[in-house]
Amino acid sequence: MEEWSETKKEGRVLFISMLLIFIVFVSIAIKVEYSGNPALASLPIDQSIGSMEGKEVRFGTGMSTLYSMVTTAAETGAVNNMHDTLTPITGMLAVSNMLLNTVFGGVGFMNVLMYVMIAVFMSGLMVGRTPEFLKKKIESKEMKLIAVTILIHPLLILEFTALALFLNIGNESISNPGFHGITQILYEFTSSAVNNGSGFEGLADNTLFWNITTGIVMYIGRYFSMITLLSVSYSMLNKQTVPNTVGTFRTDTALFGGILIGIIFIVGALTFFPSIALGPIAEFLTI
């Protein structure tokens, strides 16, 4: 019963950590959308109920924005408004949900456990102890597999985005050249890599190039990470159980939850911030 209680506590920490990320993203997105679209501020358009461009009147600004955050965080792919018409910051948050690929969702939970192991490993290095998770030691073999898993996600998204821009195919397909166009392409390959299915729209993507490249990204992005993380779980399964001691770094505390959130954002920021800066952030600063 004590072991079961500890497992439930760890589950609560993981759920609350992901929920906090989700709440912050949703709060910022709703605030920004209700502030209206700055690109339309000089026009005689009433934005007292927020930016309604591309949104359905029966849902309104708040519910449409909430749905956009939910569908990208939970990897459902359903939409109730045009993501292409979201303001730059909200569009950035929508694509960031998929770039982080940890906030809820089936595969998202698999990646949550991956980041948990990274957080445990980093914490172990800081306190000078062998990292342990679920009473199993995390060693170099597991970390190498996790490192490969982390790298394949940005490699697929960023390399194919760069390829589309390099071949000028992206420029011919986007409906809004410039910074917004970069976001359209980035969103397309990010959605494919995490098997979300939603699109920024405005992108003429029903061509041979887009169908083949997004299919490759979807296939590798989906199955490669499954194989590597299943290998991690198999390796952990065959390890001897290590009893908890007074020196064991506990993973069922608020402190560990904070470390986990920090690791997710540090890894995500270091990996994807340059592409985000060239897309939605640059668009926001130039409006």
Q: For position 216, what pLDDT does the model report? A: 93
12-61 pLDDT, tens digit each: 888 899 899 999 999 999 999 998 887 777 778 777 788 888 888 888 88
Please state the separation of Cα 26 from the chain's center in Å: 14
Q: For position 90, what pLDDT does the model report? A: 92
Task: For residue 281, give both structure tokens.
Answer: 């952030």
142-159 pLDDT, tens digit each: 889 999 988 898 999 999
* Arithmetic mean of pLDDT, 240-251: 75
How many structural domains does the chain have? 1
Domain of 163, in residue numbers = 2-286
Tell me the pTM: 0.87
How large is the angle between the packed helices 106-127 and 254-276, nearest 10 degrees? 110
Among 147, 136, 92, 124, smallest CA distance to 235 is for: 136
User: What is the C-alpha to C-alpha distance for residues 40 and 43, in angstroms, rounded to an integer?
Assistant: 5
Mention every residue, 6+ apart, whose C-beta is less than 8 A from residue 57. none
185-195 pLDDT, tens digit each: 999 999 888 87
**What percent of the chain shows pLDDT beyond 90?**
18
Contact 144, 228 (CB under 8 A): no
